[in-house]
Structure 1
Amino acid sequence: MKDLVNNRLELFLTRKHPGATFKAITGDASPRRYFRVTNQNRHFIACVYPLPFERHNQSFLLASEFFQKFNLPVPNIIEESGPDGIILMEDFGTELLSSWLKKCSEKEKDLAIKKAINIILQIQSTTNKARLEKNVLTKLEFDFDKLSWELQYFYVHYLRYYKKIEIDKATENRLFNELSKIAYLLSERPKMVVHRDYHADNIMVKQESPLRLGIIDYQDARLGPISYDLVPLLVERLAKPLDDETIDEYIEYFLSGRAEYGLQRIAKSDFVNEFWMMDLERALKVLGTFGFMTAVAGRTEYEQYIPGTLKEIKRAISKISQKFPQIKAVLDL
């Protein structure tokens, strides 16, 4: 049986770009499918959505349009077809920052991470304009309900479905109280525009000399805690995890660079606690994703990432001023 997504893209290209060929790009847990399209020595990326879309509520297109006003390094949109559920965009190449960091020098690595941090600050500098315009990026945020949902996702898909842990009511109540505490504390933090998934697999190395980065996969951009994008950049998808001292140096760089982008200064001690709390929340949510992909979707390749995530949760908890004994107990940390 012919792949319906491939068939839809083939029909679209035959109609709009005769002679073009395409090849699937390895995807992630997303329902979107990506393809590299070649047409007369030109390359671009096709994103094929599972269903048709209307432009006025297509988050990737609207976020791209907004970010380009601020010269953020997002791909140019070449063509869009809502009825086909297809977007053609600029091709940033094949070099993910995560893979490039494995082979570059320590000096180049430091430069790349600092450039990536500057992009976070640039994204955050769009917040006031986004609020004034009532942009789509401000319609969603990491409020208490959203954060609680993510932490419940961890409980259901990691503890219940993957680990098959049976928890008595008293223990469950204590666990839920701690998860709610995380959601509440983070939901009360000041919020700015965030990418939402700013790890090294969503940052492309467009050019090595001089180094130029590009960002992708920002369709879920929204308002979130100020530390939100810095956490995945510094702790996720890195072949060699950064040590605590190096993370602290990059936190200093992030905080000291805020004034250059017209952003309010933040007390370091306050920010550091938020950073590790955000790290804890993201890691718990990621455990839920790994549990779902392994136990429900049958994608067992995600299981290999669970031990490292548990280690990161243990580190985060050790750094936070608040205590979470029930989370540690249920995860056997």
Structure 2
Amino acid sequence: MRNFSQDERKIELADWVSQQLSGLQSAGLFSSLSDVTAESFEAVSGDASFRRYFRLKLEGGCANATSDLVPRQNQINSLIAVDSPPEHEDNESFVRIDGLLMKAGVRVPAVFANSFDKGFLLLEDFGDSTLLPLLELAKYEGRAEFTDCMYADAIRSILLLQKGVACSQLPVFDRDRLLEEMELFSQWFCEGLLDLKLIEQEREIIQKAFLFLADSIDAQPKIAVHRDFHSRNLLYLEAAEKDAINKLGVIDFQDAVSGPYTYDAVSLLRDCYLRWPTNDQARWALLYFEGAQSGQGGKVLADQLNGKSSLEFVNDFDLCGLQRHLKVMGIFSRLFLRDQKSTYLDNLPLTIRYFLEVSKDYSPLNNFSSWFSEKILPLAETRLKFSASEFIDGD
């Protein structure tokens, strides 16, 4: 194994960052800078992609930012350098959508410099306080006020995204893509992780369920969708202004699409990394729905939701969640089997739980839900070493 300090891309990234900072300083963006070498980079936890993140602390503890790039604060203590291989990552989409979200009022990191050819980015540093551990601690300590505040902020970000980014500016997330995503369940979860050879009758049951979900979700009102909006992609901005309305930063948005209006809300509230009691899920879901109906997500969405009952909304919310959780079962399995990222297996039992709890309430899914419970669940319990008896009937 090569020594990390000899990593050629890391060295190339450091050289590139040094050149960009010199240009930014000459342009008057920063008043003081430190020398940049690969050794001055501090590795930052990554995500499920091929990207790598490094923190660069600025000389003297801070530098003055005078550009409109960072309208929210004028003190920058550090920056994030990103190695994002262009053969694997769509960096042009990241930068373009970052600009759209920032214009919409969503708190996304400023992009100070980029090289699409090299796959390098220089970003504003949002820190390390992802929302997940903060929510886990608040849940353990019973701090309901903090939790409610964070989910209100997160829902506000969804509504800002929906109001401020036009569907025409994003790729379409249509019926075919919904079906394509659910195929990950068959390929990577059933056949890959569980080593199950699906017979023709089982494939027919699966296909009928997929078609029902895809047709139902495709009929929902379309709006701008982050597409991976959950507690690991939200950061608590400790340095946010005291009077800031929203203290949550949003990341990993480069796959944003025009898609079903419930997608981001169900991604957030039926988070595959963290579970809340069903009454809390419902309460926060209705907070989103009421905001969307009142126009906080834009007039276009409000008009489409005019006359829709809360029961109809819950139906939309549930079905969108079922599609996402089938996809996630496949993605987490692929991350393990193809990319050797085993930690995602720990999150599969919760994902399965969500699916079992919700699918039983929808009669068009009866055959699929029964087959899942009778055939898939026992295999998953053995493969993942958990017992569904611990969670099927309770919160």
TM-score (norm. length: structure 2) = 0.76
* Partner Cα separation in structure 1 for residue 342 and residue 102 of structure 2: 38
Which stretch shifts more, 10-19 or 41-50?
10-19
Label 1:297 to 1:307 Cα distance change in 2 as closer, same or farther (>3 A). same
Aligned equivalents of 1:74 and 1:313: distance in 2?
Answer: 31
Structure 2 CA distance for partners of 1:147 and 1:4, relative to 1, 3 Å: farther
SS in 2 for 1:332: helix
Aligned pairs (5 A) from 1:250-329: 250-258=284-292, 259-261=294-296, 262-263=298-299, 264=302, 265=305, 266-320=308-362, 322-329=364-371
Q: How many residues align?
A: 324
* 2:68 counterpart of 1:34: no
The answer as to 2:53 corresponding to 1:11 is: no
Could you tell me which amino acid in structure 2 is paired with residue 111 of structure 1? Answer: C
Amino acid at match of 1:122: L
Q: Which runs of 5+ in 1 are unaligned?
A: none
- For 1:95 and 1:206, how far apart are their aligned partners in 2? 7
CA-based RMSD: 2.3
Superposed displacement of residue 237, structure 1: 4.6
Alpha-carbon separation, structure 1, partners of 2:100 and 2:45:
28
> How far, CA to CA, are the matches of 2:366 and 2:291 in structure 1?
32
Classify the secondary structure of the residue corresponding to 1:30. Answer: coil
Q: One-letter code of the match for 1:86?
A: F
1:214 aligns with 2:249: yes
Could you tell me how far 1:180 is from its partner in structure 2?
Answer: 2.1
Q: Offset at 1:33? A: 1.7
The residue identity in structure 2 corresponding to 1:242 is W
Is 7-16 or 152-161 further displaced after alignment? 7-16
Out of 239, 258, 275, the position equivalent to 1:223 is 258
Q: Rate the CA distance shift 1:106–1:54 in 2: closer, same or farther, 3 A.
A: closer
* Residue 201 of structure 1: aligned partner: 232
Taking a change above 3 Å as real, the CA distance of residues 167 and 144 of structure 1, as seen in their structure-2 partners, is: same
User: Is 1:273–1:320's contact at 8 Å kept on the other side of the alignment?
Assistant: no
Where does residue 132 of structure 2 map in the other structure?
98
Q: Distance in 2 between matches of 1:171 and 1:84?
A: 46
Q: How far did 1:319 drift?
A: 3.8
SS in 2 for 1:229: helix
Q: Which has the higher contact order (CA 8 A, sep 6+)?
A: 1
Q: For 1:272 and 1:98, locate their aligned partners in 2 and report how far apart those are by CA, in whole Å.
A: 25
**1:115, CA displacement in angstroms?**
1.2
Shift of 1:195: 0.9
Match of 2:189 in 1: 158
1:12 to partner: Cα distance? 1.3
SS of 1:103's equivalent in the other structure is helix
Q: State the distance in 1 between where 2:11 and 2:362 align.
A: 51
- Structure 1 SS opposite 2:350: helix
Q: Distance in 1 between matches of 2:335 and 2:257?
A: 25
Equivalent positions of 1:29-108 (< 5 A) are 29-40=48-59, 41=61, 42-51=77-86, 58-104=92-138, 105-108=143-146
Q: Which moved more, 1:280-289 or 1:5-14?
A: 5-14
- TM-aligned CA deviation for residue 295 of structure 1: 2.5
Cα pair 2:356 2:369 within 8 Å, conserved = no
Corresponding residue of 1:248: 282
**1:52–1:315: structure 2 CA closer, same or farther, 3 Å change rule?**
closer
Contact 1:8 1:84 survives alignment (8 Å): no
143-152 or 301-310, which deviates more:
301-310
Whether the 8 Å CA contact 1:52–1:83 is kept in 2: the answer is no
| Preserved CA contact (<8 Å) 1:43 1:91 | yes
* Counterpart Cα distance in 2 of 1:235 and 1:102: 14
Q: Which residue identity is paired with 2:330?
A: G
1:332 pairs with one of 377, 381, 384: 377
Matched-pair identity in %: 27
TM-score, structure 1 length as denominator?
Answer: 0.90
Counterpart Cα distance in 2 of 1:66 and 1:236 = 25
Moved over 6 A (4+): 52-55
How far apart are 1:175 and its partner, in Å?
Answer: 1.4
Does the 8 Å CA contact 2:83/2:121 hold for their aligned counterparts?
yes
CA distance in 2, matches of 1:249, 1:196: 22
Please show how residues 119-198 of structure 1 align to structure 2 within 5 Å.
119-127=157-165, 130-131=166-167, 134-135=168-169, 137=170, 140-198=171-229
3-state DSSP of counterpart to 1:88: strand
Q: CA deviation at 1:183?
A: 1.5
